């Protein structure tokens, strides 16, 4: 993964080396190097953990700029106004060179406990999570577990994630059935309950793992891999990447609101009256 750190025009060598050393000392991190203005991390840890580690060690803001060195995708997850609580998160998908798909995510606002995660057929949010269709199931198989063979699981069955007492779920799922190019344009959803992986006695066990209705979902879109995204400023509205990290994608709060000056307020303490004033 490519982590962009707010080092300024030139990084402080002491802070940079400290950050790289901290990353390399972690179990699950194979390598960490500074390259082309970003920290390139080869790891099996969730991206959220890497970002938190970089931010804490360097004391600088950090964002995930690129994910995966092959084809990648991303889904912005939200509750779509379906529930009393707001659920927000991001799931990134990467097709590895070895053939497996990695789903790396962090979701906030979930009830504590286990929740099913599934890729659905349709990328249609016209009715929120109600219009995303059934589980992605090109082989016409019954619902099952991620470790089941293709003929005994839906391709979209990704098992369960666990939300802690704060409502946050951080996860990294490795799947040997799904392919990134098959799911772009579809959707991914998180359910209200635990997925029984098709092992339960409920009539819905072989349909959706008796996991209940989706409480958050999002459309899967193609995204940038490592060093494929040179963006520092959003061309649409001028928000820099560091501020964009902590702001909504659109709407209220996206751009910094500057206080409006009253029409008749004198400028620069001048005695000249603003010409827009009505006398």
- pTM score, whole prediction: 0.69
Could you tell me if 210 and 83 lie in one domain? yes
45, 67 Cβ separation under 8 angstroms: no
**174-213 pLDDT per residue, tens:** 999 999 999 999 999 999 999 999 999 999 999 999 999 9
Statement to judge: residues 174 and 87 lie in one domain: yes
For residue 112, is it within any domain?
A: yes
Determine the pLDDT at residue 234.
39
Same domain for 38 and 154, yes or no, is no
Q: Supply the CATH number for residue 38's domain.
A: 3.30.70.100
Note whether 55 and 104 are same-domain residues.
no
Tally of domains within the chain: 2
Determine the Cα–Cα distance for residues 67 and 65; give it in Å rounded to an integer: 7
Q: What is the CATH number of the domain that holds 189?
A: 2.60.40.200
Residue 143 confidence (pLDDT): 97
Distance of CA 262 to the CA centre of its chain: 41
Last residue of a domain, one of 66, 89, 108: 66
- Domain end call among 223, 240, 270: 223
Residues 215 and 110 in one domain: yes
pLDDT at 233: 38
- For residue 83, the enclosing domain spans 72-223
3-class state of residue 134 by DSSP: coil
Query: Mean of the pLDDT values across residues 153-171?
Result: 96
Greatest mean pLDDT among 72-76, 101-105, 112-116, 253-257 lies in 112-116
Does residue 214 sit in the same domain as residue 77?
Answer: yes
The answer to whether residues 187 and 149 belong to one domain is yes
Residue 229 domain-assigned (yes or no): no
Angle between helices 47-58 and 13-24 (to 10 degrees): 140
More confident residue, 127 or 269: 127
- Does 120 lie in the same domain as 190? yes
Nearest to 159 by CA among 188, 129, 180, 124: 188
Q: Quick one: pLDDT at residue 63?
A: 85
Does residue 208 lie in a domain region?
A: yes
Q: Are 75 and 123 in contact (CB under 8 A)?
A: no
| 131 vs 1, higher pLDDT | 131
């Amino acid at each position: 993964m490519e982590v962009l750190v707010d080092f300024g025009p030139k990084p402080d060598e002491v802070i940079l080396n400290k950050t790289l050393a901290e990353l390399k000392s972690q179990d699950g991190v194979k390598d960490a190097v500074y390259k082309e203005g970003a920290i390139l991390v080869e790891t099996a840890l969730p991206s959220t953990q890497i970002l938190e580690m970089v931010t804490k060690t360097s004391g600088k803001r950090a964002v995930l700029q690129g994910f995966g060195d092959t084809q990648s995708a991303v889904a912005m997850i939200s509750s779509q106004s379906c529930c009393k609580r707001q659920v927000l998160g991001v799931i990134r998908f990467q097709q590895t060179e070895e053939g497996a798909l990695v789903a790396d995510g962090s979701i906030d606002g979930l009830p504590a406990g286990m929740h099913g995660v599934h890729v659905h057929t349709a990328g249609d949010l016209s009715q929120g999570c109600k219009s995303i269709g059934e589980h992605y199931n090109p082989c016409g198989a019954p619902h099952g577990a991620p470790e089941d063979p293709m003929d005994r699981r839906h391709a979209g069955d990704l098992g369960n994630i666990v939300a802690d007492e704060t409502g946050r779920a951080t996860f990294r799922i490795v799947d040997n059935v799904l392919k990134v190019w098959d799911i772009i344009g579809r959707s991914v959803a998180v359910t209200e309950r635990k997925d029984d992986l098709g092992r339960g006695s409920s009539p819905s066990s072989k349909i959706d793992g008796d996991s209940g209705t989706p409480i958050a979902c999002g459309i899967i879109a193609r995204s940038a891999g490592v060093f494929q995204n040179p963006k520092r400023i959003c061309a649409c509205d001028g928000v820099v990447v560091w501020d964009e990290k902590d702001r909504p994608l659109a709407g209220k709060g996206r751009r910094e609101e500057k206080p409006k000056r009253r029409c008749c307020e004198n400028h620069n303490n001048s005695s000249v009256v603003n010409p827009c004033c009505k006398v």
